[in-house]
């Protein structure tokens, strides 16, 4: 089988290419050039492209580079900026997987005559009880990445291989070391790849939008602080709010971007006021046929799954009702549904803001 392997310059994708090569497949490594601006971290830096090329050379496989920077700007960077401008907290890695790695790259692979696309994600492609392909959690629960791949439905998975999903991270590093790969001890990337560590999120966004100051008020509406940019505030935040030290811990429990006040308001209160009985989730994608009901719901990449009742409300949206009240999820973040056994991805979507602004 002819396989195009996405090589990011990290240890997982390097070992994925090695495993497929050793299994007898015709392997070509590809690195996507996504970001044309400054980058010193993640899979967009020049050093990561070099690491991928050298790993391919060590493995004796062909390596190519595809320039998808226009698609990346349109589908990832632009929406990331717009989300902050509109009071949402985006997840750019999920959108990169959705639009670039498993859409644009797959389309290019098909055009070039490849039989499959592979990546180094820690997740598995399994056969569901109905005979269709379904995404499963990876063997290493601590490194499981099924959350960020939840948009891959049964049809998409027909042409996807995830070879390292059967191994733990330690086993992957051990294989890389045995192969003499220079990526064997390379640390995992933890940051948004197109945001330089020197400027951070604030510097990146400040060069692309105007910031709006906001009053920080308590639940009675008494002003207790001020933030220079409401666009940088997210639900559940507890630091950087201009609050005096020594008092009780307070969290952002509401953000009013457009209200009849002199400035937008950030509402802070204790952890109890951050709890909710449920969420509205839009832009839902299902692994197969919609499967609402009693499911496990994960609200962050490495969070614990939470029991909830998921019900259809129409228009591609669902309502989640938690078995026990949970901290509210920031609008713009993704939630992923798993079956009650916590093995299979059932679907997922993006948390919508409340229909009525939170007023305590």
Mean pLDDT of the chain: 92
Structural contact between residues 16 and 145, judged by C-beta atoms closer than 8 angstroms = no
Q: Is 16 helix (H, G, I), strand (E, B) or coil?
A: helix
Asked if residues 6 and 48 have their Cβ atoms less than 8 Å apart, the reply is: no
pLDDT surpassing 50 at residue 356: no
- The reported pTM is 0.93
193 catalytically annotated: yes
CA distance 295 to 340: 5
Rounded Cα distance, 360 and 358, in Å: 6
* Percent of the chain at pLDDT exceeding 70: 94
Instruction: Work out the average pLDDT over 305-328.
Output: 96
Closest CA to 221 of 275, 274, 260: 260
Q: What is the mean pLDDT of residues 80-86?
A: 96
Q: For the chain, which residues make up each domain, given as ranges?
A: 2-121+162-178, 211-269, 274-351
CATH topology of domain 211-269: SH3 type barrels. (2.30.30)
The one catalytic residue in 43, 44, 93, 193 is 193
CA-CA distance, 352 to 333, in Å (whole number)?
Answer: 8
Give 264-287 pLDDT, tens digit per residue.
Answer: 999 999 999 999 999 999 999 999
Which class is 274-351 in CATH?
A: mainly beta
CA angle, 97 then 189 then 117, to 5°: 35
User: Do residues 321 and 278 touch, judged by C-beta distance below 8 A?
Assistant: yes
Tell me which of 43, 44, 93, 96 is the catalytic residue.
Answer: 96
Element spanning 286, H or E: strand 275-286
Q: How far apart are CA 125 and CA 165, in angstroms?
A: 8
Is the pLDDT at 53 greater than 50? The verdict is yes
Q: What is the pLDDT of residues 105-128, one digit of tens each?
A: 999 999 999 999 999 999 999 998
Fold of 2-121+162-178: Rossmann fold (3.40.50)
pLDDT for 109 equals 98
Poorest-confidence range of 160-164, 187-191, 203-207? 187-191
């Amino acid at each position: 089988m002819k396989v195009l392997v996405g090589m990011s310059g990290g240890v997982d994708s390097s070992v994925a290419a090695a495993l497929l090569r050793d299994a007898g497949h015709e392997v070509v490594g590809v690195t996507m050039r996504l970001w044309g601006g400054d980058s010193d971290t993640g899979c967009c830096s020049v050093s990561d492209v070099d690491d991928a090329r050298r790993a391919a050379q060590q493995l004796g496989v062909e390596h190519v580079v595809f320039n998808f920077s226009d698609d990346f700007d349109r589908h990832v960077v632009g929406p990331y900026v717009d989300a902050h401008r509109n009071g949402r907290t985006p997840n750019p890695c999920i959108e990169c997987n959705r639009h670039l790695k498993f859409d644009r790259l797959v389309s290019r692979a098909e055009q070039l005559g490849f039989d499959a696309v592979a990546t180094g994600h820690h997740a598995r492609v399994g056969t569901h009880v109905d005979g269709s392909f379904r995404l499963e959690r990876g063997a290493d629960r601590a490194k499981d990445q099924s959350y960020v791949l939840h948009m891959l439905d049964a049809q998409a998975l027909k042409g996807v291989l995830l070879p390292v999903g059967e191994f733990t991270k330690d086993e992957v590093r051990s294989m890389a070391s045995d192969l003499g790969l220079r990526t064997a001890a390379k640390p995992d990337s933890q940051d948004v790849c197109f945001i330089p560590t020197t400027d951070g999120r604030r510097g990146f966004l400040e060069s692309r939008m105007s910031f709006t100051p906001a009053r920080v008020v308590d639940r009675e509406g008494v002003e207790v602080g001020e933030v220079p940019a409401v666009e940088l505030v997210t639900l559940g935040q507890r630091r950087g709010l201009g609050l005096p030290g020594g008092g009780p811990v307070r969290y952002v429990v509401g953000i009013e971007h457009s209200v009849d006040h002199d400035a937008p308001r950030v509402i802070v209160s204790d952890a109890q006021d951050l709890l909710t009985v449920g969420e509205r989730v839009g832009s839902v994608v299902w692994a197969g046929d919609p499967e609402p009901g009693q499911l496990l719901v994960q609200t962050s990449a490495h969070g614990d799954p939470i029991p909830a009742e998921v019900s259809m409300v129409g228009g591609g949206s669902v309502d989640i009702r938690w078995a026990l009240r949970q901290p509210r999820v920031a609008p713009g973040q993704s939630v992923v549904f798993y079956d009650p056994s916590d093995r299979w991805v059932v679907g997922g979507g993006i948390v919508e803001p409340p229909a009525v602004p939170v007023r305590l």
